[in-house]
A = this chain, B = another copy of it.
């Protein structure tokens, strides 16, 4: 019985369908709409996320969504940020390794897994699934946060002198872009076979690590 705080007994994730919450709980409705949109997206793909469909799932008029998000782009941005959180969480689940190379291999694997387990999010974030949405400053920053773990480990490797390149962001961008390229060509249907794509991916991870790390060991 933890209904202690200011809000009356309303659980955002169970009770609050739209009409009961209304404007006094605008923030809760907002979160529920994002949740509804995410659910539709994950089940039917990003193209299935239409304002009307989200409104229907929320049993509310489309106007409510426009009041809270301004436009579809506004809702898309929230899904983008949600995806960034999920990616960050995926990286954080990778246990830190003493062997930096091994650690990077596993972070690379985590990135691949994310793209396969959350394909819709990946396409929204990096595949342009919502063509109306282009990442602005806040969204770009969220990607930076998600990649923080990778940036940190690369920076550490540079400080330890096992990576000769001085700019960690440059290294991260080179690695990120290369791996993204394979994932994106696969998701776009240019690489037909998943095993082929994964083999390319693993090979690319190895090549990249080999490129940036000193030759010995």
Instruction: List A residues at the B interface (Cβ < 8 Å).
Output: 47, 126-129, 131, 134-135, 140, 143, 170, 173-174, 176-182, 184-185, 188-192, 200, 203-204, 207, 210-211
Contact = CB atoms under 8 A, between A and B. Distances in A.
A131 B47 CA distance: 9
A204 B177 contact: yes
B207 A211 contact: yes
A177 B181 CA distance: 5
A181 B192 CA distance: 17
Given A180-B181, A181-B178, A173 B200 contact: yes
Contact of A190 (B126, B178, B188): B126
A191 B210 contact: no
- Please provide the 6 A-B residue pairs with the shortest distance between their CB atoms, ordered closest to farther: A181-B181, A177-B181, A178-B178, A177-B182, A180-B181, A134-B189
Contacts of A135: 188-190
Contacts of A127: 128, 188
A1 B51 CA distance: 59
A45 to B, nearest CB: 10
Contact of A177 (B200, B210, B211): B200
23 contacts: A47-B131, A126-B188, A127-B188, A129-B131, A135-B190, A143-B190, A173-B200, A174-B203, A174-B204, A174-B207, A176-B181, A176-B185, A177-B178, A177-B182, A177-B200, A177-B204, A178-B178, A178-B204, A179-B181, A180-B184, A184-B184, A210-B211, A211-B211
A210 B208 CA distance: 11
Given A127-B128, A135-B189, 6 more contacts: A128-B188, A134-B188, A170-B203, A173-B200, A174-B200, A176-B181
A184 to B, nearest CB: 6
A189 B29 CA distance: 30
A113 to B, nearest CB: 18
